[in-house]
């Protein structure tokens, strides 16, 4: 239930073992039709980059195992072709991340999310995402080595950005989107969620509207288009 409320993803299973790796939680993102690996961490003696790419690599190399796990745990049934593997990601949840960990994923296209969790008196729990401030590509770390884990994972997983939707907009429409985004950002507890088909605007992690980008206009819907 926590994964659905906070991250908008469906819990599948816990402590899934694939080869030499044991994943804390496996979830499924129904909006992107993709798997999400969730790792709960304490302390700082680990590399987010090394662990994240290792987990994504084992997922991409064992797709059938993930499909089987989902089908055995869920009332729904998935085929391999039903999953958008290019939208796979890892979510790290920790009481805190140190400067090194934050900087190690400070790229514009890493398929990871870092979330800090704070607990307060009365059972109140607060989540805050550590967002990247860079537009540089993570592939620079691989130094052109096509056999590296980063290069192999990056060849199959694509990080979606706002530019993927706005890049083909007519020049007369781009200012309209800029104005709309600024207006929506003015509301409290808001965020934008990017998928291949649209960008949704959320408040308190609930999608309020779905924005579809056409070359000559924007289409705002109260629900996803079929």
| pLDDT score of 95 | 92
| pLDDT score of 147 | 67
| pLDDT score of 141 | 67
| pLDDT score of 45 | 84
Q: Is the dihedral of CA 186, 94, 59, 103 positive or negative?
A: positive
Q: What is the mean pLDDT of residues 64-91?
A: 92
Q: What is the mean pLDDT of residues 119-132?
A: 83
Distance CA 113, CA 107 (A): 11
Give domain limits for the chain.
2-159, 164-221
Using left for φ > 0, alpha for ψ between -120 and 50, and beta otherwise, residue 196 falls in alpha
First CA to last CA across the chain, in angstroms? Answer: 26
Indicate if the pLDDT at residue 48 is higher than 80. yes
Name the residue with higher pLDDT: 17 or 5.
17
Q: Report phi then psi at 36, rounded to 5.
A: -130, 125
Task: Give pLDDT tens digits for 96-122.
Answer: 999 999 988 888 888 999 999 988 888
């Amino acid at each position: 239930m926590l994964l659905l409320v906070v991250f908008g993803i469906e819990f599948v299973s816990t402590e899934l073992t694939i080869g030499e790796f044991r994943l804390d939680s496996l979830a499924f993102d129904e909006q992107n039709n993709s798997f999400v690996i969730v790792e709960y961490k304490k302390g700082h003696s680990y590399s987010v980059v090394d662990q994240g790419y290792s987990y994504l690599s084992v997922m991409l190399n064992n797709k059938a195992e993930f499909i089987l796990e989902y089908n055995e745990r869920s009332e729904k049934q998935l085929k391999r072709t039903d999953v958008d593997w290019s939208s796979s990601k890892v979510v790290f949840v920790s009481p805190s991340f140190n400067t090194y960990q934050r900087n190690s994923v400070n790229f514009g296209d890493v398929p990871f999310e870092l979330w800090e969790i704070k607990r307060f008196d009365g059972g109140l729990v607060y989540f805050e995402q550590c967002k990247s401030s860079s537009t540089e590509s993570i592939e620079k770390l691989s130094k052109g080595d096509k056999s590296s884990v980063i290069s192999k994972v990056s060849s199959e997983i694509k990080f979606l950005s706002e530019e993927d939707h706005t890049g083909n907009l007519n020049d007369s429409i781009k200012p309209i989107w800029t104005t709309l985004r600024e207006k929506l950002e003015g509301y409290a507890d808001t965020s934008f969620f990017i998928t291949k088909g649209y960008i949704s605007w959320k408040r308190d992690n609930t999608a309020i509207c779905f924005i579809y980008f056409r070359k000559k206009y924007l289409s705002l819907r109260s629900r996803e288009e079929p």
